[in-house]
Amino acid sequence: MASLARLTPLRLLRDERGVVGAMVAVLIGGGVLTGMCALVIDVGQIYQGRAELQNGADAAALAVAKSCALGNCTPGVAGELADGNASSLTGGTEGVQLVCGSGSLGSCPASTGSLASCPPPPPSAAGNFVDVYTETQMPDGSTLLPPVFATTLLGNSSYQGSTVHACAQAEWGPPSAATTTALAISACEWDQATQQGSVFPPAPPYPQNPLPAASFDQVLTLTPGNGSGCATEPAGADGPATFGWAQAEPGSCALQVTGPTLPESAGTSVTAACALALQNAQQSQIPILVPVYVSLDSAASTYSLQGFAEFVVTGYNLAPDFFEPDWLDPANTCTGTNYCVTGYFIQGVIPSTGSFAGPSLGAFVIDLTG
């Protein structure tokens, strides 16, 4: 009896395996497991393919939008970004079906409201947008994502695969609000230095990009509220070559600008925080975002905001012990009590999101809007 008791579990285990094997055979014969494989694997591939196509469309839309913001729309960058988001599922390739949008990008098809369609053009005042439509593309040029199990299903032998689609929309424009450096520069200076936004030098880094000509380098002096004006701005505007200090957050050289005005700093000398910020900007050649103002209301201690610009600091002389010579044009180096900041404006994309508002002063934000 003891021997029989020890053998019974083993026999039961063999019996259970036999039952499972028989059940699997029945399911395969009835096509149930094959159907489940088709559902899990083939449908899973379609979901993966669409996720990759969406990632590729998102990256491509942002890249095209950036090229347009910087003044030279380049739809061709979409293909490289789309392929960069593809996996071995499609052999590392994705198809770019269409790049369209505002301006030279050409008109886009009407939105259908489907997952593979972009939304209608954005209603913002800026009106700058790009739509990138992506689709399945295999290394041999086929637009069909081939099945694994689906063709084995009854009545499905002619199925050759699915073409998966995705679309992304990106918008670009000047920001309506931003976190800036407390160095405020007059609108007359921006007008003169950039020929009212028609001329910008190459942006850093150097030597990846060519070094700007020395003629782009400007000398700015601390003379806010002079009201000397210029032909391109309203009467009472501060003249060219003028900067002032805005009121930064405590212990910082940054301030959040959200309205049509920004507060003037009570002092005229550079703060320790702004000294450090300018030093880092000058040595690293990394642009800083600055508010561009039209005029200073001395009674209210507020600047009237024109917009936001990217500024590269090349040198400064703001205190007896706070001096760096100009690295672009040494002839612009200020010495002694001739206090100044030197540098030039560029076009650039800043890491910010939100609504867009004009005028455009060369600083842009990009947002995925669909």
Express each pLDDT in 285-340 by its tens digit. Answer: 999 999 999 999 999 999 999 999 999 999 999 998 899 999 999 999 999 999 99
Place of tokens 């029989």: 4
Clarify whether residues 234 and 99 are in a common domain.
no
- Please write the tens of the pLDDT for every residue from 236-250: 999 999 999 999 999
Backbone angles phi, psi at 63, to 5 degrees: -65, -45
Whether residue 247 lies inside any domain: the answer is yes
Domain end point (choices 109, 141, 172):
172
149 & 240 share domain? no
Range of 99's domain? 30-172
* Last residue of one domain, picked from the residues 172, 201, 228: 172
Same domain, 331 and 235: yes
Region of 15 on the Ramachandran plot (φ > 0 left; ψ -120 to 50 alpha; else beta):
alpha
**Of 138, 172, 206, the domain-final residue:** 172
In a domain, 17, yes or no: no
Residues 164 and 182 in one domain: no
For the record, the structure tokens of 126 come out as 């800026």
Instruction: Convert the pLDDT of each residue in 189-218 to its tens digit.
Output: 999 999 999 999 999 999 999 999 999 999
pLDDT digits (tens, 9 = 90+) for 114-145: 888 899 988 765 679 999 999 999 999 998 87
> Residue 220 in contact with residue 342, Cβ under 8 Å?
yes
Residues 205 and 349 in one domain: yes
Bridge partners (DSSP) listed for residue 346 = 310
Residues 6+ apart with CB under 8 A from 185: 220, 242, 243, 290, 291, 292, 293, 309, 311
Q: How far apart are CA 252 and CA 263, in angstroms?
A: 15
Q: Do residues 336 and 360 touch, judged by C-beta distance below 8 A?
A: no
Under DSSP, is residue 215 helix (H, G, I), strand (E, B) or coil? helix
Same domain assignment for residues 235 and 258: yes
Same domain, 99 and 230: no
- The Cα–Cα gap between 243 and 296 comes to 11
Answer yes or no: are the C-beta atoms of 74 and 81 closer than 8 Å: no
The answer to whether residues 346 and 297 belong to one domain is yes
- In a shared domain, residues 185 and 163: no
Total structural domains within the chain: 2
Cβ proximity of 303 and 296 under 8 Å: yes
Q: Is residue 105 part of a domain?
A: yes
Kindly report the pTM of this predicted structure. 0.81
- Do the domain assignments include residue 5? no
Lowest mean pLDDT among 1-5, 69-73, 126-130, 263-267: 1-5
CA-to-CA separations, 28 to 22, 225, 272, in angstroms, rounded: 10, 86, 77
Q: What pLDDT does residue 144 have?
A: 84
Q: Same structural domain for residues 164 and 201?
A: no
| Rounded Cα–Cα distance for residues 187 and 229 (Å) | 9
Look up tokens 């009835």; give the residue.
Answer: 30
